[in-house]
Structure 1
Amino acid sequence: MTDKKKFTASFSTGKDCTLAIYKAIKAGYEPAGLITTRNTDGKIAWFHQLPQDVLDRLSDSIGIPIVLMLTGGKDYEKNFQDRLLKMKESGAKLCVFGDIDIQAHKDWGEALCRSCGLEPLYPLWGMSRRQAVEEFIESGFKARITAVDTTKMNRAYLGEAITPKLIEKLEQDNVDVCGENGEYHTIVTDGPIFKKPLEITFGSEEFDGRYATLSVM
């Protein structure tokens, strides 16, 4: 396929967006750069907030530029729109999202893309949640749990690898296997879009009364 359409993506470094990026590449699109965000106001519990050196190593591992967007919740939409416009100037025609079935999230992404003249792409949309996590595993990706909502699941899941056995355990504990409602969050460390694995270690565990998170180094 010549003259591949370039895309950017809303990239949390987790499993769903990574699978969506992989499916977009398989469909013939070319990544121009990925957008990841970091909360600056300290009032909203955003996850996947990796240190810059980990993001740099991840970018090197996948061979795709990762652009860090610093923003507070109040200015999130405007700042994301500005970043999309810059990616458009760099040649992006589409923006990929990893949403599966939450309509409000899809509506938001579609409206944002329309405002920037970009085409939204949702490669996972309409899949069952189990189907999405199974395809992630079967495609050869590896991921670890870095955050859990302790009102929805046991904090003992922190650090666990995403495997078929873990999926069975989540089902036994009546936890959504995909974590689509924020039950848990992951970091992907290897898989078919990786040129080399991302080597990470876990540091301290933090708990704010609801969310338990592991620092990633």
Structure 2
Amino acid sequence: MAEIAPRDGARPGVLLSWSGGKDSAWTLQQLRRRDDLEVTGLLTTITEGYGRASMQGVRVEVLRAQAEAAGLPLLEAEIPKECDNTAYQAVFAAALERARARWPGLERIAFGDLFLADIRAWREALCARLGWTALFPLFGADTATLARAMIAAGLRTHLCCVDTRQLDAGFAGHAFDASLLDALPAGVDPCGENGEFHSCVEAGPMFSRALALRRGETVLRDGRFAYTDFLAPG
């Protein structure tokens, strides 16, 4: 796998919201293709007491391994188990303050959202209120085309969370590949942008090396979400 180009520090910095999944990983790839910005670090939210990325369920050890493979520092923001909007915003604001203390003058943060306009507007308003500019490098892309472009470029990821109200639990743990895309029922977004599924990335052009994650068990939580565990190597 190709080595990640060194960062020269001469361009304006941007923080990247990191979930450990394909969309945030591909956003990193797209940002690194630009000559007007430099990704300085990754920001992830971890659920208190679980040590996992919120919603996706990716273990913090895996997130750290991903960040190391990407050659970037990972800022971890811990949210409570029962996190309402007010609590989330407070944690997010504190995390951005820590980021700016580490990188003075930093004022941009990127997200991997694809087409949900209401989510984008909410993020933009929140960031603006905190003195930050939100960027959405993938927004508006055709998700069917985007999904196959990710796969063709060597992105390797598996479904780590499936919403069983939208997609059969049997898809949990499945590789995000052409066979998966062909098997998705009509109405399910190829990138899971409507929350049908989330993923955990183990390799791709944004990483200096593959992670060789180990697959664990699949469990149903809250009577709705099928989570497949992925463990860091070692």
Q: Tell me, which stretches of 5 or more residues in structure 1 are unaligned?
A: none
Cα RMSD after superposing both structures: 2.0
| Greater mean deviation of Cα atoms: 128-137 or 180-189 | 128-137
Q: Which runs of 4+ in 1 moved over 6 A?
A: none
Task: Give me the TM-score of the superposition, normalised by structure 1.
Answer: 0.90
The DSSP-based 3-state class of the residue aligned with 2:140 is coil
1:203 is matched with 216
Please say if residues 203 and 209 of structure 2, whose CA atoms lie closer than 8 Å, have aligned partners that are also in contact: yes
How far residue 173 of structure 1 moved from its aligned partner, in angstroms, is: 5.0
The DSSP-based 3-state class of the residue aligned with 2:112 is coil
Taking the TM superposition and a 5 Å limit, the aligned residue runs for 1:182-193 are 182-193=195-206
In the alignment, the residues of structure 2 paired with residue 174 and residue 195 of structure 1 have an alpha-carbon distance, to the nearest angstrom, of 35
In the alignment, the residues of structure 2 paired with residue 144 and residue 195 of structure 1 have an alpha-carbon distance, to the nearest angstrom, of 19
1:76 is matched with 88
Aligned mate of 1:55, from 39, 42, 63: 63
Taking the TM superposition and a 5 Å limit, the aligned residue runs for 1:7-22 are 7-22=14-29
CA deviation string 1:149-205 (max 9, x = no partner): 1111111111111112211111x4542211111111101111111011112112122
Q: Does 1:30 align with 2:38?
A: yes
Structure 1 residues 38 and 25: alpha-carbon distance in aligned structure 2, compared to 1, 3 A threshold: same
How far residue 114 of structure 1 moved from its aligned partner, in angstroms, is: 1.1
> Between the two proteins, what is the percent identity of the paired residues?
27
Please say if residues 32 and 90 of structure 1, whose CA atoms lie closer than 8 Å, have aligned partners that are also in contact: no
Please say if residues 57 and 160 of structure 2, whose CA atoms lie closer than 8 Å, have aligned partners that are also in contact: no
Task: Give me the TM-score of the superposition, normalised by structure 2.
Answer: 0.84
Q: Tell me, which stretches of 5 or more residues in structure 2 are unaligned?
A: 1-7
1:99 is matched with 113
Aligned length: 214
CA deviation string 1:95-128 (max 9, x = no partner): 0001111111111211122123222110011112
| Greater mean deviation of Cα atoms: 88-97 or 8-17 | 88-97
In the alignment, the residues of structure 1 paired with residue 132 and residue 109 of structure 2 have an alpha-carbon distance, to the nearest angstrom, of 7
